[in-house]
Amino acid sequence: MPASHSFRSLLPVLILLVLLALVPLLSPSNRFVSLAISAGINVIALYGLSVLFGQTGILSMGHAALVGIGAYTAAILARDFNIGFWLSIPLAGIMAAIVAALIGIPSLRVSGHHFVIMTFAFGQLLAIILTNGGDYTGAASGLDVQQPVALFGLSIDVLTHYYLTVVFFVALSAIASWAIINSRYGRTLRAIRENEKLAASLGINVGRHKIGAFIVSGVFAGVSGVLLAYFLRHISPSQFSSFPSIYLALMVMIGGARLLLGPLAGGILVAFLPELLNLDPVQSRILYGVCLIAVILLLPNGLIAGIIAGWHKMFDRRAAQPSEPAVEREGK
Amino acid sequence: MAALLDIKGLRKQFGGVTALAGVDLTVNEGEILGVVGPNGSGKTTLFNSVTGVHRPTAGTVSWRGRDITGIPANAVSRAGIAYTFQQAMAFPGLSVFENVQIATEHCSNTLTNRPWTTPASLLEFVGLSGLSGEKAGILPFGRLRLLGLALALATRPSLILLDEPAAGLNDRETTTLVHLVEQFPEHGISVCVIDHDMKLMQMLCRRLAVLDFGSKIADGPTADVLNDPKVLEVYLGGAL
């Protein structure tokens, strides 16, 4: 994509995030803000998944485990080393990246469906390890996080302040994801997604870059985990097992992994849809399942890409026609 | 002429099937060598075993005197050997420009002097400049072949292996292709080409090697090989 186009993909996301940052002015309910924070925390992990799935074409079904690594790193750093929120962010990002490398190096030797199963297994394994970690991981009941969060002496523990912090990190993730997509590195990942054999024949080390993409997505997941730990103030293994992983994969598929608006749309929709429709947990699971099937069948590139394609179909039909004969002329 | 690529006793087994039964083949600097043979004679396997797609079962591949047997595909590319595939020649979901951009970005043979170093110059050389914004996936087959050629050239190779470059092309497209490939030696790129199209091979190659059931049965000047009774029998059926 030419450079002039690239900023245009970031702009709507930033505008939307600025608007979302203004939401507290409307004095929404605490329930609404809490849901929005949860959605935002997921969106951060989703931006990492979009690099992995959308750009590189690798699906992870154990991504919540990496979020869990971030959350537990933050909780343990706070408990044992008195390290607070801000320093936990980079440290947990690094920790999740290391774990992603440890999972990725053996798993990415296999491809496609086998990798999906491997990540799923690793996710389950982590939950088992955390549950059996004794006092160190707090076993099945998990860990508390008591460290206060402050910025320049101002407490961020107030719900709306924490909300703004999350919006800030969502913006950072979107910008990071955008920068990756529009870099030489992003193009390399897309080449691997499109045709691994050809990519290798052009001198690209496919295996190394796949592991790299998994590590990058791990950093996003780790940061997301810290925000989750400090939001919930209590974390436990079940939050990072298979169901949350499947939800993350579902969100990125529903929103669409290739476009920058996709993760944002997926995260918000999945968080708010049951609330809007007033569904209980069982009903909402059924709804998610139906949504996933519908998206896979009808909008394989996700909701946002589907809406854009629909828009073009309806309004650009006339504009599209002259370009076709132009291609023909080239051939003579 | 110095030997650029020297293949000795190359064998490839797939389970109980012997695809290559010990092939010797040399590609010399500055030549366009043709490799022909009936379907299943091992031509593509030969290329795949040299370029790191498959690991050869036995035998050696030397590149400028260095043993490169069984090295991975990306290392083969960095050594200066490019490969165009029979199928899937490009990245379908990316624009034509982005396709070539990726290939130039990963070229590490920066010391090799080639007239085309930028994506724009490569696209101009293969005649795809006007389509740089289009998605590669919507290109007609002939154009896709040319894009595949541009990708291979972008790695600044010293040798290009072309796997059936004219398959699916019409006469005009084949002529365009021949015209392009003929220029490679003068830019320091040797060529080894596989194809069924004997007209194409006669146009391009001064030397021809013939494979049959995984073994080389002839190797020499094109005219001699085409008149070799052994070759006529197994491959051409006297059609020429």
Give DSSP secondary structure letters for A271-328: HHHHHHHT--HHHHHHHHHHHHHHHHHH-TT-HHHHHHHHHHHHHSHHHHTTHHHHHH
Inter-chain residue contact B91 with A198, CB threshold 8 Å: yes
Inter-chain residue contact A206 with B154, CB threshold 8 Å: no
Nearest to A198 among B88, B101, B133 (CB): B88
pLDDT at A91: 95
pLDDT at A93: 95
Residues of chain B above pLDDT 70, percent: 95
Rounded CA separation A124/A242 (Å): 6
More confident residue, B111 or A173: A173
Rounded CA separation B10/B62 (Å): 11
Residues of A in contact with B101 (CB under 8 A): 187
User: Tokens 């849901």 identify what position?
Assistant: A35
B225: pLDDT strictly greater than 70? yes
Q: Tell me the pLDDT of chain B averaged across its residues.
A: 87
Q: Does residue A278 belong to any structural domain of this protein?
A: no
Report residue A317's pLDDT band, with 50, 70 and 90 as the boundaries: low
Nearest to A198 among B85, B97, B143 (CB): B85
User: For chain B, where are the E strands, in sequence order?
Assistant: 3-14, 17-28, 32-36, 58-63, 66-67, 81-84, 159-163, 190-194, 207-212, 215-221
Q: Does residue A259 belong to any structural domain of this protein?
A: no
Q: Which domain holds residue A68?
A: 3-243
> What is the arithmetic mean of pLDDT over A47-71?
91
B2: pLDDT strictly greater than 80? no
- Which chain A residue has its CA at the smallest distance from B137's CA? A194
Using the Cβ of B108 and the Cβ atoms of chain A, whether some distance falls under 8 Å is answered with yes
Residues 6+ apart with CB under 8 A from B175: none
Q: What are phi and psi of A172, to 5 degrees?
A: -60, -45
Tokens of residue A36, six digits: 């929005």
- Which chain B residue has its CA at the smallest distance from A194's CA? B91
Nearest to B106 among A193, A194, A204 (CB): A204
Inter-chain residue contact A327 with B83, CB threshold 8 Å: no
Range of lowest pLDDT (A137-151, A239-253, B114-128): A137-151
Cβ count near B215 (within 10 Å): 16
For A215-228, the pLDDT digits (tens) are 999 999 999 999 99
Inter-chain residue contact B73 with A330, CB threshold 8 Å: no
Max CA separation in chain A (angstroms) = 75
For B48-82, the pLDDT digits (tens) are 999 988 889 999 999 998 999 989 998 999 889 99
For B15-36, the pLDDT digits (tens) are 888 888 888 999 999 899 999 8
Report residue A45's pLDDT band, with 50, 70 and 90 as the boundaries: very high
> What is the arithmetic mean of pLDDT over A34-51?
93
Nearest to A203 among B74, B94, B140 (CB): B74
Rounded CA separation B194/B201 (Å): 8
Most confident of A1-10, A131-140, A211-220, A275-284: A211-220
From A277, A305, A267, select the one nearest A49 (Cα to Cα).
A267
Report residue A1's pLDDT band, with 50, 70 and 90 as the boundaries: very low
Inter-chain residue contact B105 with A331, CB threshold 8 Å: no
Report residue A304's pLDDT band, with 50, 70 and 90 as the boundaries: confident
How far is the first Cα of chain B from the last one, in angstroms, to the nearest whole number?
Answer: 30
Q: Does residue A111 belong to any structural domain of this protein?
A: yes
pLDDT at B37: 86
Degrees to nearest 5, angle at CA A230 with A229 and A236: 25
pLDDT at A23: 85
Residues in B 134-193 with any Cβ partner in A closer than 8 A: 134, 140, 143, 151-152, 154-155
- Which chain B residue has its CA at the smallest distance from A207's CA? B74
Inter-chain residue contact A202 with B102, CB threshold 8 Å: yes
Nearest to B107 among A198, A200, A203 (CB): A203
Rounded CA separation B117/B131 (Å): 18
Q: Where are the domains of chain B?
A: 3-236
Nearest to B106 among A1, A203, A330 (CB): A203
> What is the arithmetic mean of pLDDT over B136-142?
88
Inter-chain residue contact A197 with B85, CB threshold 8 Å: yes
A81: pLDDT strictly greater than 70? yes
Question: Which DSSP string do the residues of A104-130 spell out, in sequence order?
Answer: HHHHTTS-THHHHHHHHHHHHHHHHHH
B214: left (phi over 0), alpha (psi -120 to 50) or beta: left
Residues of B in contact with A202 (CB under 8 A): 74, 77, 102-103, 106, 151, 154-155
User: Tokens 């991504």 identify what position?
Assistant: A63
Give bridge partners of residue B32 from the DSSP assignment.
B191
Residues of B in contact with A201 (CB under 8 A): 51, 73-74, 76-77, 82-83, 85, 152
Tokens of residue A118, six digits: 């491997």
- What topology does CATH give the domain B3-236? Rossmann fold (3.40.50)
pLDDT at B236: 57
Q: Pseudo-torsion of CA B135, B138, B140, B144, nearest 10°?
A: 40
Inter-chain residue contact B106 with A188, CB threshold 8 Å: yes
Report residue A329's pLDDT band, with 50, 70 and 90 as the boundaries: very low
> What is the arithmetic mean of pLDDT over A50-54?
91
From A152, A153, A145, select the one nearest A78 (Cα to Cα).
A145
pLDDT at A319: 52
Residue A121: burial class (beta carbons within 10 Å; 0-12, 13-18, 19+): middle
Q: Tell me the pLDDT of chain A averaged across its residues.
A: 85
Inter-chain residue contact A197 with B103, CB threshold 8 Å: no
Residues of A in contact with B77 (CB under 8 A): 200-203
Residues 6+ apart with CB under 8 A from B233: none
A5: pLDDT strictly greater than 70? no
Angle, to 10 degrees, between the axis of helix A242-255 and the axis of helix A261-277? 110
A331: pLDDT strictly greater than 70? no
Tokens of residue B211, six digits: 């494979």
pLDDT at B88: 66
* ipTM for this prediction: 0.86
Inter-chain residue contact A203 with B140, CB threshold 8 Å: no
Rounded CA separation B142/B122 (Å): 16
Using the Cβ of B110 and the Cβ atoms of chain A, whether some distance falls under 8 Å is answered with no
- Which chain A residue has its CA at the smallest distance from B139's CA? A327
pLDDT at A326: 39
Using the Cβ of B82 and the Cβ atoms of chain A, whether some distance falls under 8 Å is answered with yes
Q: Does residue A289 belong to any structural domain of this protein?
A: no
Assessment of whether the complete model's pTM goes beyond 0.90? no
Question: Which DSSP string do the residues of A31-77 spell out, in sequence order?
Answer: HHHHHHHHHHHHHHHHHHHIIIIIIT----S-HHHHHHHHHHHHHHH
A330: pLDDT strictly greater than 60? no
For A235-292, the pLDDT digits (tens) are 998 888 888 888 898 888 888 888 888 899 889 988 888 888 878 888 888 888 888 8
CA-to-CA dists, residue B115 to A240, B99, B111, B131, B155, angstroms: 55, 19, 12, 21, 12
Nearest to B131 among A202, A203, A327 (CB): A327
A320: pLDDT strictly greater than 70? no
Are the C-beta atoms of residues A25 and A233 closer than 8 Å to each other? no
Q: Does residue A320 belong to any structural domain of this protein?
A: no
For B154-195, the pLDDT digits (tens) are 888 999 999 998 888 888 888 888 999 999 998 889 999 998
Residues of A in contact with B74 (CB under 8 A): 200-206
